[in-house]
Amino acid sequence: MTLGVVVFPGSNCDRDVQWAAQGCLGIETRFLWHEQRDLSGLDAVVIPGGFSYGDYLRCGAIARFAPVLEEVKAFADRGGRVLGICNGFQVLTEMGLLPGALTRNQHLHFLCEPAELQVEPGRCAWLQGYSSGQRVTFPIAHGEGRYQADAALLKQLEQNGQVVLRYSRNPNGSVGDVAGLTNAQGNVLGLMPHPERACDPATGGVDGRALLATLLG
């Protein structure tokens, strides 16, 4: 099992993901520089949090054109497992792998705090280690995490079981309390909270372990 972790100029959670996966769970990780295209030997890919390309223009708007993401999209289209965390979720919406958009938080403040979430795994491969309705706590750290979708799209996502993570107490004004989405096939997951920061008891809480541990079978 080898996990690829994409690194852009401005990424700052790539090593957090490496520690959570390799340091805490023994999952081999390989960094993928934004200019490379070789995904050979990888079983899954994570697009981590941070500020890709300084978040200029719009969060994820420049990153979506990175050569590595052309290969990540093809990998996902073949059924490969892709996880986007925080800025990675923003990138996934810009790429069109997940619908909707992430915008400025409702009160225009950067939020850095624990967030309680309700999990509805459905068909999402990344969440099979959790039970339906389970409550978990992951940290959040974002200024532009407010999920936006029109009423028709939100209804479709809910009917399809694609809203797999919801905030128990909505911190940012996301429609439908959306904290995380999966695609229709269940192999792509995007979420604003940080599961990789909830894997080591030394940093507080291990609720995120079950997400990455699904890679171990």
DSSP state string for the chain: -EEEEEE-TTB-SHHHHHIIIIIIH--EEEEEETT----TT-SEEEE--B-GGGG-SSTTTTGGG-HHHHHHHHHHHTT-EEEEETHHHHHHHHHTSS-SEEE--TTS--EEEEEEEEE--TT-GGGTTS-TT-EEEEEEEESS-EEE--HHHHHHHHHTT-EEEEESS-SS--GGGEEEEE-TTSSEEEESS-GGGSS-GGGS--TTHHHHHGGG-
pLDDT number for residue 192: 98
Q: What is the mean pLDDT of residues 14-32?
A: 98
CATH number of 2-216: 3.40.50.880
Catalytic residue among 86, 120, 124, 142: 86
pLDDT for residue 55 is more than 80: no
pLDDT for residue 57 is more than 80: no
pLDDT band at 71 (very low <50, low <70, confident <90, very high): very high
Active-site residue, 109 included: no
pLDDT number for residue 54: 78
Share above pLDDT 90 across residues of the chain, in percent, rounded to a whole number: 90
pLDDT for residue 53 is more than 90: no
pLDDT for residue 88 is more than 80: yes
Catalytic residue among 71, 124, 194, 199: 194
pLDDT tens track for 128-184:
999 999 999 999 999 999 999 999 999 999 999 999 999 999 999 999 999 999 999
Active-site residue, 70 included: no
pLDDT number for residue 51: 87
Catalytic residue among 71, 94, 144, 196: 196
pLDDT number for residue 5: 98
Give residue limits of the domains in the chain.
Answer: 2-216
Q: Which of 106, 95, 42 lies closest to 69, judged by CA?
A: 95
Pick the more confident residue, 63 or 44. 44
pLDDT band at 217 (very low <50, low <70, confident <90, very high): confident
pLDDT number for residue 150: 97
Active-site residue, 86 included: yes
Average pLDDT of the chain to the nearest whole number? 95
pLDDT for residue 102 is more than 80: yes
pLDDT for residue 56 is more than 80: no
pLDDT for residue 43 is more than 80: yes
